[in-house]
Amino acid sequence: MSFDNKELKDLLESIRFVYGYDFTDYAEASVRRRIEHFMNARKIAALEKMGKMILQDEKLFEEFIQEVSVTVTEMFRDPSFYKSLRENILKRLATYPFIKVWIAGCATGEEIYSVAILLQEEGLLNRSVIYATDINQKSLQIAKDGVYPVENMKTYTANYQKAGGTGSFSEYYKAKYNSVMFDKSLKQNIVFAAHNLAVDKSFNEFQLVICRNVLIYFNQQLQNKVISLFYESLCPFGFLGLGSKESLLFSDKRKNFEEVDRKEKLFIKK
């Protein structure tokens, strides 16, 4: 099963035209790999055939979206990022009467609950609102439910402790059978919404925007566009957190940000 760049481009243009989902500026290797995986799993040999199928069958297209847009995540992933967030950013945000946080590309929600726990431990959650957005509706539903496999908790607990957690991680969830459910008190100040970074606009002004390990799936042009979107969405002296392999180096807006923590990719809007 192989397809050339033109076939791939035509397919992505058709998807944009029919459904309004824009993958044309996603990193080509990443999109190609995920489409091949989707085709293999359904034993579809030709890209043209798959294109016709997903353009005629909305349910199949939803499955396609899950495949192409899903990102892998875990709670307190890269604990040193959260430690720096707690020590360098939240201490400053504590001076605001009200804090708005945008977690863009929140995937299945592990990052949302990590940030909510940090805010709770710093005494800020009750005057914060976390806006959690993703393109993938299925992932958003998992995030809303806040239910995760119990076997992940060992890793998450270790991450939490390395991130400077001040409590006992098990206090934040209840275990039942093979799953755990995170405490409702963490969810009270979370707003979940679908948002497509490739095409949607800014929808609020935030003190903190976190978008980690999402930009790596975009090409240079789209990365630049999304960084500009975050810039517009931040209040003066608002903070931006990116993933460990991401940077502002090639962005038009790089001069509009200063590093707060170079290693952890934390920036402040000038």
Give the per-residue SS3 of the chain: CCCCHHHHHHHHHHHHHHHCCCCCCECHHHHHHHHHHHHHHCCCCCHHHHHHHHHHCHHHHHHHHHHHHCCCCCCCCCHHHHHHHHHHHHHHHCCCCCEEEEEECCCCCHHHHHHHHHHHHCCCHHHEEEEEEECCHHHHHHHHHCEEEHHHHHHHHHHHHHCCCCCCHHHHEEEECCEEEECHHHHCCEEEEECCCCCCCCCCCEEEEEECCCHHHECHHHHHHHHHHHHHHEEEEEEEEECCCCCCCCCCCHHHEEEEECCCCEEEEC
d(CA 93, CA 132) in angstroms, rounded, equals 18
- The full 3-state SS of 74-92, as one line of letters, equals CCCCCHHHHHHHHHHHHHH
Q: What pLDDT score does 112 carry?
A: 98
Residue 260 contacts residue 269 (beta carbons within 8 Å)? no
Q: What pLDDT score does 222 carry?
A: 94
Residue 240 contacts residue 234 (beta carbons within 8 Å)? yes
pLDDT digits (tens, 9 = 90+) for 2-60: 789 999 999 999 999 999 999 999 999 999 999 999 999 999 999 999 999 999 999 99
The set of residues, in sequence order, having a beta carbon less than 8 Å from that of 141 and lying 6+ positions away, is none
Q: Is the pLDDT of residue 1 over 80?
A: no
d(CA 255, CA 31) in angstroms, rounded, equals 31
Residue found under tokens 């090639």: 250
- Enumerate domains of the chain plus CATH numbers: 5-69 (no CATH), 79-269 (3.40.50.150)
Q: How far is CA 109 from CA 40, 43, 85, 143, 244, in A?
A: 28, 31, 18, 4, 19
Work out the percent of the chain whose per-residue pLDDT is above 70. 100
Q: Is the pLDDT of residue 210 over 90?
A: yes
Residue 191 contacts residue 132 (beta carbons within 8 Å)? yes
The average confidence (pLDDT) of the chain is: 95
pLDDT digits (tens, 9 = 90+) for 70-128: 777 999 999 999 999 999 999 999 999 999 999 999 999 999 999 999 999 999 999 99
d(CA 152, CA 48) in angstroms, rounded, equals 39
**Quick one: which of 111, 132, 255 has its CA closest to 195?**
132
Residue 60 contacts residue 49 (beta carbons within 8 Å)? no
